[in-house]
Structure 1
Amino acid sequence: MALADRSARLRRLAGSLTEQFGLPWGHRQINAEYDERRREWTYTWVDGPTVAQVRRAAKKAQPEAVKGLLYQRQFSDEASVMAVVRMALAAEPIDEDFHGRAFRFSELEDFLANIKNPAPKAGREATIVANLLKTSEGHGYNFWDTWNRASDFVAKNGFARTLDGVELTPLELLTARYAEGRAERAWRFRLAPLTPLEAFSAVQADKKAKEDALGAALSLLPELHAALDAAAADMTTRLNGTVPAD
């Protein structure tokens, strides 16, 4: 196939795929780029569909024109930081103090590879990502600096400084205020809350507890009652011999 003819077909197909996948026109659209030195065509785009999705759609539409075509999905700062957040919260702690670790670039790429439209849209995750971006000083759509800074920041500091503007649940509010020692580190690095009983007991013991803490503690009562009822039923069953005690 002549270069000029293939160029036209690949560019038209890039536009069709951009529309098919609902990508905005501009820097996020699918572009057909030609490397004269290597004599290679590459489709590039930001976030959006996965490489597998674009490759499959391209082969179905123009099987001859896309032979040898390369595919390269790039990621926005928001997508790269979202990956840092999700991986950090899901990872096993590296020590008993719940400290995290920085992630390698290849790990983030592997994590994002199968996620369609990876940038967070709204809600608490989007707020955490935006706050983390401020600390990591994002640098556009080549996310090397961004993911590295964000990954290092979370590994060293956890998430406490990324929660500005995040609406915490009553249990999370009490955890942020009362957790100490290992529990505080579990919250800071994993956003792991106290148990409802621990949080309620902390407020009960605080004779100077503020109004918001008292209200948050009282909102836990239905959950506490349910847990205590379930525990009491289990112990009653065991006492009656229905289920042998351990």
Structure 2
Amino acid sequence: MGYAISIGVFVLCLVWITFFNGDQHYLILSFICLAASMLPFYWHFETRESEAREIVFLAVLATVAALGRVAMAAVPDVKPTSFVIVMTGLTLGPEAGFIVGSTSAVVSNLFLGQGPWTPWQMFAWGAMGISAGLIRNFKIAHNRYFLAILGLVYGFLFGWIMDLWYVMVYVQPLNIKTFIAAYLASFYFDLAHGVTTAILLYLFYQSWYRIITRFKYKYGLAGVQDEINQQSF
């Protein structure tokens, strides 16, 4: 419920930026989107016991994702950001995945440059974290070969969302030919993003999953204590 509200806020911000000259207020809208991305956490904060260490752990993951992007800024789309976001969703759930995904975008752009693209990146990475969290209970979602394919797909989906913003704002005249041309122009960058995410998920999924899961159960993060209590009955 919480992240459904967040997605709604994101969509409204994206529509405003695209059609109502909202690029003049992109910074304000970016922080509105950031606040919206925190709604899932606050929603659960009110319905279950949450502690400061959970906030800190999510902040650490978002920082790792953001710094991974900043550190590799010289190499277009070869970044571990999506890997960290997907791992967060797979281990901690959709709310945590959405928070880390959207937060890492706005934090990394503090170093790389804010702009009307920031809410779109927050939405794309947030959606990536949600979708990874929603499939975490399926056995196939923890198969390295499946994750490698998923990582490749995520790279292209992220790029296509960003291309949609680009063509709606900058491509004139907008028709099927210019639309396809804009998407084809980003193929290399989307491929690099997808391949990087696929390789990282294939090589480091198991080690990251063990580490995050250990913290999850040791400190009772992401509602794990509620799961334990339910299993005990």
Task: Output the TM-score relative to the length of structure 2.
Answer: 0.27
Indicate the structure with greater strand content.
1
Indicate the structure with greater helix content.
2
